[in-house]
Amino acid sequence: MKKYGLYIPLLFLLGCHPAPETETVSLRQPAHFVKLTADTLNPLTEAGIALGQQLFFDPILSRDSSIACVSCHLPERAFTDGKAIAVGVDGEKGFRNAPTLANLAWVNQGLFWDGRSPNLELQALDPVENPHEMDSDWDTVLSRLRQQPAYVKAFQDAFSIRSPAQIDKHLAARAIAQFERTLISSESKYDSVQRGEAQFSPLEQRGRDIFFDASAELPDAECGHCHTPPLFTDQTYINNGVQVSHDLDAIKDRGRGGVSGIRYENGRFRVPSLRNIALTAPYMHDGSLPTLEAVIDHYDSGGHAGPNVDPKIRPLGLSELDKQALVAFLRTLTDSAFVETEYLVQ
């Protein structure tokens, strides 16, 4: 009871109840994912999620209104773009591959390949002003938003603001973050098998056993140590030998080391989720591996040697059948309902 003591008089004072739109909603959390507690700093509301979705799909966030968030994060590709390296306004190439946005509500060890952003609310500020992405600035974007009555209304519904002048970049980012938290992928064949509702084919089962080092007769590929279910990432920062890194000072993309300033972390990147991996080619932070077969060949070879390459990355001795089996298993992580969701945007 004591908890409400503060709020009730406050509501009387303001003479209002929250509008139905601003009532918080809870995230549909898959039973087999870690339970998230309700976010008190940016509580989810129907109106906030709807506004975030609108912003995510709207090219007015970019300098010349040519690209939206969705241009590089396409729902049908599990929110990736099919390109090795993302391309922004004026064909400006960035440095890295666009990652999936599935299950980011559970990512809590840093966003981006190098983990430089602590949460979705801060991450969403970056693309708008990134010269390799939307190449705009928030002042421009905010003045555009304030001029559109539909957006003014949407911000009022989501955040109870009283005038268009109160629309700011942090509210826009909060709405985008709310929308992103609803992008949950947990209904693949893998999940059905886990629940006992489906069975792997013999090839998929072989791949699963190799992935999780689960059979004495088959090689141990170590995959499951880093790509741990249910998210298929343990969210650590690892050098998996994909780039040349024998000299840690000469490394092309320093990744985690570029953020932490720790030399030994140069060339480390966040272990990416493998959910919907069959839909998100090309692969790795630099998009250097075009297919799943190429990824398996990379791991089988042991990759480029380097002082901080993880010891689990080593020649695996996989047969052709083992490789096919691993690819077949990875394909069971595709969640068709997730990628076929249609987003209605006015």
Q: How far is the CB of 8 from ligand HEC (least distance, A)?
A: 37
Binding flag, residue 222, ligand HEC (CB under 6 A): yes
- CA pair distance 118, 110, nearest whole angstrom: 5
299 binds ligand HEC (CB under 6 A): yes
For residue 284, the minimal CB distance to ligand HEC (Å) is 4
> What's the min distance (Å) between Cβ of 344 and ligand HEC?
18
Please pick, from the candidates 223, 251, 325, 328, the single residue that binds ligand HEC as defined by CB under 6 A: 223
> What is the closest distance, in whole angstroms, from the C-beta atom of residue 20 to ligand HEC in the complex?
27
Among 47, 49, 50, 72, binds ligand HEC (CB under 6 A): 72
Does residue 187 contact residue 338 with C-beta atoms inside 8 Å? yes
- Which pair of structure tokens corresponds to residue 317? 């001795």
Site string for ligand HEC, 108-147 (x = CB under 6 A): ---xxx------x--xx--xx----xx-------------
Judged by CB, which is closer to ligand HEC: 47, or 296? 296
Burial class (CB in 10 A: 0-12, 13-18, 19+), 104: buried
| Minimum CB distance to ligand HEC smaller for 157 or for 310 | 310
Return the closest-CA partner of residue 278 out of 322, 326, 239, 222.
326
Q: Which two tokens stand for residue 22?
A: 């601003």
- 115 CB burial (10 A radius; 0-12, 13-18, 19+): buried
Please list, in sequence order, all residues whose beta carbon lies within 8 angstroms of the beta carbon of residue 198, skipping any fewer than 6 positions away. 189, 192
Residue nearer to ligand HEC on the CB measure, 44 or 104: 104
Q: Does 102 bind ligand HEC (CB under 6 A)?
A: no
- Are 218 and 206 in contact by the 8 Å Cβ rule? The answer is yes
Out of 47, 51, 60, 67, name the contact with ligand HEC by CB under 6 A: 67
Interface positions, 162-221, toward ligand HEC (CB under 6 A): 176, 180, 221
Check: CB of residue 245 under 8 Å from CB of residue 309.
yes
Closest by CA to 112, choosing from 259, 231, 227, 223, is: 259
71 close to 273: Cβ distance less than 8 angstroms: no
The dihedral built from the CA positions of residue 123, 133, 268 and 36, taken in this order, carries a sign that is positive
With contacts defined by CB under 6 A, how many residues of the chain interact with ligand HEC? 52
Tell me which residue of 270, 289, 269 sits closest to 281, measured CA to CA: 289
- Assess 279 for contact with ligand HEC (CB under 6 A): no
Considering only 12-20, 67-75, 138-146, 185-193, which stretch makes contact with ligand HEC by CB under 6 A? 67-75
Q: Which residues bind ligand HEC (CB under 6 A)?
A: 56, 61, 67, 69, 71-73, 86-88, 94, 96, 98-99, 101, 104, 111-113, 120, 123-124, 127-128, 133-134, 176, 180, 221-223, 225-227, 238, 240, 242, 269, 271-272, 274, 277, 280, 283-285, 295, 299, 310, 312-313, 326
